[in-house]
Amino acid sequence: MQPSPVLEAMELELDPSIEALRQANPPAYFISYAVTDQTAVMVEGSNGALLESDENQNRVLQTQVRVGSYQLDDTHNIGDRSMSQTSDPALLPLDDDVAAIRRAIWLSTNNQYREAAAAYIRVQTSQQVQVQNAETTAPDFSHETPTVDYLPLVSAHFDRKPWEARVRRYTAAFSASPAVTNSIATFSASATNQFFVSSEGAKEQFGQIRYRLELYVQAKAPDGMDLYRYADFDWVKPSEAPSDAKVMAAVRTLLDEIQALEKAPVFTPYVGPVLLSGRAAAVFFHEVLGHRLEGFRQKEVTEGQTFTNKVGQQIMPSFLSVYDDPTLKTIGGQALLGYYPFDDEGVPAQRVTLVDHGVLKNFLMSRSPLPAFPHSNGHGRRQVGDQPIARMGNTIVESSKGVPFAELRKMLIDLARKQGKPYGLLIDDLEGGFTITGREQPQAFQLQPLIVYKVYADGRPDELVRGVNIVGTPLTVLTKIQATGDKEAVFDGYCVAESGAVPVSADAPAMLFSELEVARKETSTDKPPILPPPAHDGQDPEPAGVRPTPWSHLR
């Protein structure tokens, strides 16, 4: 594969720039250029009608000029202030005009050098007046072996018309239920080519195509609580798109669940045994453990550094291991959003063992090193426009103590009886929430379950409840895991943190906890709509092509 004209322009501008800026005062020691060229479409519908259908293309440059040295440079944090590592993103010409592209890169390089030089002077001054510790005296930038690899680029023509019809159809089906206050279906697709060069000699290009369909439905309980359910589908080839029948089955399931939640009782605070489904456990590990193992959090003075000094120590049961592997494209035939061949600092993606049989081994590392971890392991990531920091890719939880789900459920009931509880909780779906990692607040997390059942110890049928939040602290909760299921489930999504929204995946088996704390969920006091929705007020005719369905309640 040959380098593209974009990469050619980046290389041609790089060499004279670094040569000149090495002679400047203060001198630059590193320059990198990263370009993201993306063609994207989005088709969105709501309540049976089309809201948006759009296609756009842009080509964005991010320039990094580092002034000083690998040991101390302009990105060094000053107290509790993090220094910027990249200039504002710049738009490049869409034409493969080498001269025009070079001119845009030249302007960006000049702007970034001025910012970096001014920041470096502030850093040097701070060194004289601020206390330094082991983490802050670690080098600001790691030495890495440059990679030269020209992977295939991608292009695609996205036909929006079929999806315009499909999002209308899916949201019209949602509107057939009088319980629904709003519904949205969104189809998105992108063909993204990424280019990277650096003064160390890295030269890389690669392309990815991604497709996603998201379904969202909202309702309001009689007491004012907002209720919602969602489902998503991800794929990388047109032939892998979900069939209409599969999506409509998901629509029916979401409607069943939202109608059952509308009638479900509000749960009260609880401490006791909890069983998480595989998907819920995957989200749990992403939030509770994954963010705290991001390398930059181990050196920021504002961070709680929960696991910084626990390498080599047992932090969870010995039957559990955790690794992050962005080189995985699929698991069990399901596309993983966290796949990438190179991170946003030009370092090849790598599998990293984080926890081995319960013992903490490593952190997710970008090119911001730690004293005991001097190199990147290919996890420097960012949304276009933000600076790369250590982030998750594909986080995988493995267990050597897996049992069939029926047995895991029986263990939940046994724990409830031993603890004198009338029931345990089964959490079948869980969205993110928030996890506090900064030291100015308690090192706690709050996660938001979406589907929760009471599983009664006396054999009564399971009871759906709502208004539940899981709360806790990581060092305690990870020791409460008793056993896992023998099958894994995948969560695909977009994680929003300091470097923006990045695509991630997590994979885990169902997981039984001897004890979790559940708190009441924040709720609204607004009453449900006074007027019945259109088509359910006895006035409007039934919408064309839509048959109201007698949705059954959840089991």
Asked whether residue 406 is domain-assigned, the answer is: yes
Asked whether residue 326 is domain-assigned, the answer is: yes
- Would the pLDDT of 87 be above 90? no
Query: What per-residue confidence (pLDDT) applies to 438?
Result: 72
**pLDDT: is 322 or 304 the higher one?**
322
* CB-CB contact of 293 with 393 (8 Å): no
Domain of 443 in residue numbering reads as 270-520
Query: What per-residue confidence (pLDDT) applies to 317?
Result: 98
Strand partners, 348: 342
Domain's final residue, options 97, 130, 150: 150
Domain's final residue, options 150, 171, 189: 150
Asked whether residue 185 is domain-assigned, the answer is: no
Asked whether residue 295 is domain-assigned, the answer is: yes
Query: What per-residue confidence (pLDDT) applies to 550?
Result: 28
Residue 508 and residue 375 in one domain: yes
Asked whether residue 422 is domain-assigned, the answer is: yes
Mean pLDDT of 301-310: 85
Residue 373 and residue 505 in one domain: yes
Mean pLDDT of 285-300: 92
Asked whether residue 292 is domain-assigned, the answer is: yes
* CB-CB contact of 6 with 195 (8 Å): yes
DSSP sequence for 109-159: HHHHHHHHHHHHHHHHHHHTTS---TTTTS-SS------EEEPPP------
- Would the pLDDT of 439 be above 80? no
Asked whether residue 282 is domain-assigned, the answer is: yes
- Would the pLDDT of 544 be above 50? no
Mean pLDDT of 157-183: 94
pLDDT digits (tens, 9 = 90+) for 93-108: 999 999 999 999 999 9
Reading the block at residue 10, the tokens are 């980046």
Q: Is the link from the previous residue into 26 a cis peptide, with omega within 30 of 0? A: yes
Report the percentage of the chain scoring pLDDT > 90.
Answer: 81
Give the confidence band of 537 by pLDDT, cuts at 50, 70, 90: low
Going from the C-alpha of 435 to that of each of 285, 292, 428, 509, the distances in angstroms are: 11, 9, 20, 21
- Would the pLDDT of 554 be above 50? no
- Would the pLDDT of 546 be above 50? no
Give the confidence band of 526 by pLDDT, cuts at 50, 70, 90: confident
Structural domain tally of the chain?
A: 2
Residue 128 and residue 275 in one domain: no
Going from the C-alpha of 523 to that of each of 91, 213, 436, 463, 520, the distances in angstroms are: 42, 28, 21, 21, 9
pLDDT digits (tens, 9 = 90+) for 461-514: 999 999 999 999 999 999 999 999 999 999 999 999 989 999 999 999 999 999
Average pLDDT value over all residues in the chain: 91
Reading the block at residue 8, the tokens are 């050619």
Residue length, the chain? 555
Query: What per-residue confidence (pLDDT) applies to 178?
Result: 87
* CB-CB contact of 555 with 453 (8 Å): no
Asked whether residue 532 is domain-assigned, the answer is: no
Domain's final residue, options 126, 150, 174: 150
Give the three-state DSSP class for 530: coil
Residue 313 and residue 460 in one domain: yes
Q: Could you give the CA distance from residue 404 to residue 271 in angstroms, rounded to a whole number?
A: 25
* CB-CB contact of 159 with 202 (8 Å): no
Give the confidence band of 128 by pLDDT, cuts at 50, 70, 90: low
